[in-house]
């Protein structure tokens, strides 16, 4: 709730509100016919509603005239009275019905616009965000469009229209003091409402804050169910929960009582206003300047006017909230992506898949360089492996190749084209990755594999699954390919997820492949099977393999040893062993730590240990 308080205390917001409303306008104007028609309905319905008291006046007057002589029933007038009432509600409903399309269409357009924009923003934005907050902003933003329209079209505009109509009628038909009395009442009413609302909103904030906090505590305690039990802390949790609820209770009671105060005050002001006007009208009747019908008319008009005013306090507050929500959403839309296609960007033309890193320097944050002058080349169809300690910058190489970030210095070329000068779409089409951590959509396994290539058919998907050695596993599941994998894919084991990721890449079949620790979650046996699969896939592809376990990459055409963002050694497995440097060191360590594995012979090109 805090951003509301911040938002309201910011003096620039009046201007911003107007700007935001202007920005919302195009979304509504797409259906301008409907908008205009709805406004027309609004005017008609208000005319009809205001017309009703007039007929009532005539009915009363004609009944009054009948006194003494024969009382005739003013049937035509009474029918007109009914007809006007009917027309009032007809136009009212017509307005809602016609406007529904405008409103929901605007919501849809705004939502898709924000969603689209979120996908345009770069990875660095998405790493900084909290998914929960963004999705709340999106939801609130779209909701705010609807509620602003709702309040404007269904509450504020009608009230203003009605007020103007009534004021004009009073001014033209009756003495000015009627109009003055009504104006003063309304103004007093506004001032009172806004002042009290402002004051009591504080209780409301407090109440909401305590509510969220209690909720957060409860959820946290339940999520940590086991921990609570381990430490026997049920009583502590209950006490903390109850303390928060205690504050909530106090705030809620204050909020409710202050609301009664508000309602009573509003009622009081209206009562005074109405009484005053009725006294004026009574005097008019006594003096013979006004008929009984006039008195009825004035009374009816007043009541009609003050009824919608009652909601205005709430509407005003909600409108403020909605404007604040909308502001957050438009701020999101204003954010520019760090990674943009250059003006003259063309599609990447992939011929063989020749990858070059030329003196690449890179830092996520300027003060901490990650890659320093990294140069290497992967010839078409070759396999290059990158090894090195954790945090050396290996996965960063893959992110740069995908252009999730732009290099700080140097450049990356694919088949001679600088990747910053081609469209991101075409670049990413050319590369496939099995990432270090595979995250899956909470949907079926079939969906997750098929995702790589939406125009693939079922046979293609199954073929890819077979190549990734996961087909049999999938078939063994009761629901087969329709098995839902759970949030982020958590219902699959780490190794199964990796194999789904491999199946995806096989299906995508790009020219350039990147395997980032693609077998890290697998036991030695499955690893061998998968490595075999990967080798088959990598055949005729340019491949970048990132690995911790050196035994998995000894067949690489070239191995880079990355340490502290620099290439410290480079060569084939054999050459590197002979250099007796970091690589040889790592190799020895890994051999010692895996005594269960037979020693590896390095002579054959493909070595499976």
Nearer to ligand ATP, 362 or 481 (CB): 362
Q: Say whether residue 364 binds ligand ATP (CB under 6 A).
A: yes
What is the nearest approach in angstroms of ligand ATP to the Cβ of residue 472?
30
State the sign of the Cα–Cα–Cα–Cα dihedral 469, 473, 476, 477: negative
Given ligand ATP, Mg ion, none, residue 393, with its beta carbon under 5 to 8 Å by kind, binds: ligand ATP
Nearer to ligand ATP, 78 or 582 (CB): 582
**Cβ count within 10 A of residue 134:** 16
Out of 395, 551, 552, 558, the only residue in the binding site for Mg ion (CB under 5 A) is: 395
Closest C-alpha to 209, from 245, 258, 254 = 245
Would you say 556 and 549 are in contact if contact means Cβ atoms under 8 Å apart? Answer: no
Would you say 544 and 384 are in contact if contact means Cβ atoms under 8 Å apart? Answer: yes
**Mask for 413-452, x = binds ligand ATP (CB under 6 A):** -----------------------x----------------
What is the nearest approach in angstroms of Mg ion to the Cβ of residue 525?
24
What is the nearest approach in angstroms of Mg ion to the Cβ of residue 391?
8
What is the nearest approach in angstroms of Mg ion to the Cβ of residue 560?
14
141-149, 219-227, 388-396, 537-545 -> range binding ligand ATP (CB under 6 A): 388-396
Q: What are phi and psi of 427, to 5 degrees?
A: -65, -45
Three-state DSSP state, 335: coil
Given Mg ion, ligand ATP, none, residue 46, with its beta carbon under 5 to 8 Å by kind, binds: none
Given ligand ATP, Mg ion, none, residue 444, with its beta carbon under 5 to 8 Å by kind, binds: none
Given ligand ATP, Mg ion, none, residue 370, with its beta carbon under 5 to 8 Å by kind, binds: ligand ATP
Q: Say whether residue 251 binds ligand ATP (CB under 6 A).
A: no
Tokens of 400: 């740069």
31-39, 394-402, 444-452, 499-507 -> range binding ligand ATP (CB under 6 A): 394-402
Tokens of 108: 């849809």
Given Mg ion, ligand ATP, none, residue 390, with its beta carbon under 5 to 8 Å by kind, binds: ligand ATP
What is the nearest approach in angstroms of Mg ion to the Cβ of residue 394?
5
Q: Say whether residue 396 binds ligand ATP (CB under 6 A).
A: yes
Cα 393 to Cα 28, 411, 561, distances in angstroms: 48, 16, 11
In 350-469 the beta strands, taken as DSSP E runs, fall at 355-365, 368-378, 383-387, 409-414, 417-418, 431-434
Residues with Cβ within 8 Å of residue 500, at least 6 apart in sequence: 438, 440, 445, 448, 449, 468, 470, 485, 489, 492
Nearer to ligand ATP, 226 or 367 (CB): 367
From the number of C-beta atoms within 10 Å of its C-beta (0-12, 13-18, 19+), residue 579 rates as middle
How many Å apart are CA 235 and CA 126, to the nearest integer?
Answer: 40
User: Helices then strands (H, E): number in the chain?
Assistant: 20, 10
**Cβ count within 10 A of residue 212:** 13
Given ligand ATP, Mg ion, none, residue 329, with its beta carbon under 5 to 8 Å by kind, binds: none
Nearer to ligand ATP, 92 or 552 (CB): 552
Residue ranges in contact with Mg ion by CB under 5 A: 395, 436
Question: Interface with ligand ATP by CB under 6 A: which residues?
Answer: 127, 364-365, 370, 390-396, 436
């Amino acid at each position: 709730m805090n951003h509301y308080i911040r938002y309201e205390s910011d003096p620039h917001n009046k201007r911003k509100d107007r700007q935001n409303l202007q920005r919302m306008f195009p979304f509504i104007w797409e259906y301008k016919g409907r908008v205009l028609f709805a406004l027309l309905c609004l005017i008609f319905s208000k005319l009809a509603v205001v017309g009703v008291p007039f007929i009532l006046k005539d009915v009363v007057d004609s009944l009054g005239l009948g006194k003494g002589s024969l009382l005739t029933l003013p049937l035509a007038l009474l029918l007109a009275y009914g007809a006007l009432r009917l027309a009032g509600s007809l136009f009212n409903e017509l307005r809602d019905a016609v406007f529904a399309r405008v409103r929901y269409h605007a919501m849809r357009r705004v939502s898709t616009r924000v969603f689209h924009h979120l996908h345009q923003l770069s990875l660095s934005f998405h790493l900084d965000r909290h998914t929960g907050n963004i999705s709340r902003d999106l939801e609130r933003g779209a909701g705010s469009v609807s509620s602003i329209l709702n309040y404007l079209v269904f509450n504020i505009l009608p009230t203003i229209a009605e007020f103007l109509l009534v004021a004009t009628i009073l001014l033209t038909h009756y003495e000015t003091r009627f109009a003055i009395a009504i104006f003063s009442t309304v103004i007093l009413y506004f001032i009172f409402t806004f002042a009290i609302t402002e004051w009591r909103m504080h209780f409301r904030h407090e109440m909401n804050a305590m509510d969220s906090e209690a909720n957060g505590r409860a959820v946290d305690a339940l999520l940590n169910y086991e921990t609570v039990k381990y430490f026997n802390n049920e009583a502590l949790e209950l006490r903390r929960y109850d303390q928060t609820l205690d504050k909530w209770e106090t705030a809620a009671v204050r909020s409710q009582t202050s609301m009664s105060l508000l309602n009573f005050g509003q009622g009081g002001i209206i009562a005074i206003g109405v009484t005053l006007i009725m006294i004026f009208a009574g005097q008019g009747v006594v003096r013979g300047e006004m008929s009984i019908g006039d008195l009825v008319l004035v009374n009816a008009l007043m009541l009609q006017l003050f009824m919608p005013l009652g909601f205005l306090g709430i509407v005003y507050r909600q409108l403020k909230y909605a404007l604040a929500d909308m502001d957050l959403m438009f701020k999101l839309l204003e954010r520019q992506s760090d990674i943009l296609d250059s003006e003259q960007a063309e599609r990447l033309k992939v011929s063989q898949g020749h990858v070059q890193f030329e003196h690449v320097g890179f830092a996520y944050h300027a003060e901490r360089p990650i890659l320093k002058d990294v140069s290497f080349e992967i010839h078409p169809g070759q396999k290059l492996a990158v090894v090195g300690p954790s945090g050396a910058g290996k996965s960063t190489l893959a992110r740069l190749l995908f252009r999730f970030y732009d290099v700080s210095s140097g450049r990356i070329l694919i088949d001679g084209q600088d990747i910053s000068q081609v469209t991101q779409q075409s670049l990413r089409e050319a590369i496939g990755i099995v990432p270090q951590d595979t995250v899956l959509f909470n949907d079926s396994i079939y969906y997750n594999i098929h995702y790589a290539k939406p125009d693939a058919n079922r046979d293609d998907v199954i073929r890819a699954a077979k190549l990734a050695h996961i087909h049999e596993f999938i078939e063994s599941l009761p629901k087969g390919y329709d098995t839902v994998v759970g949030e982020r894919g958590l219902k699959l084991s780490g190794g199964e997820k990796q194999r789904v990721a491999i199946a995806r890449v096989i299906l995508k079949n790009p020219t350039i492949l990147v395997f980032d620790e693609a077998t890290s979650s697998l036991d030695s046996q499955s690893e061998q099977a998968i490595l075999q699969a990967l080798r088959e896939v990598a055949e005729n592809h340019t491949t970048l393999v990132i690995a911790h376990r050196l035994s998995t990459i000894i067949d690489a055409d070239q191995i880079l040893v990355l340490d502290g963002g620099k290439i410290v050694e480079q060569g084939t497995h054999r050459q590197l062993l002979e250099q007796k440097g970091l690589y040889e060191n790592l190799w020895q360590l890994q051999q010692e730590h895996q005594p269960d594995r037979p020693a590896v012979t390095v002579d054959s090109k493909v070595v499976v240990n």
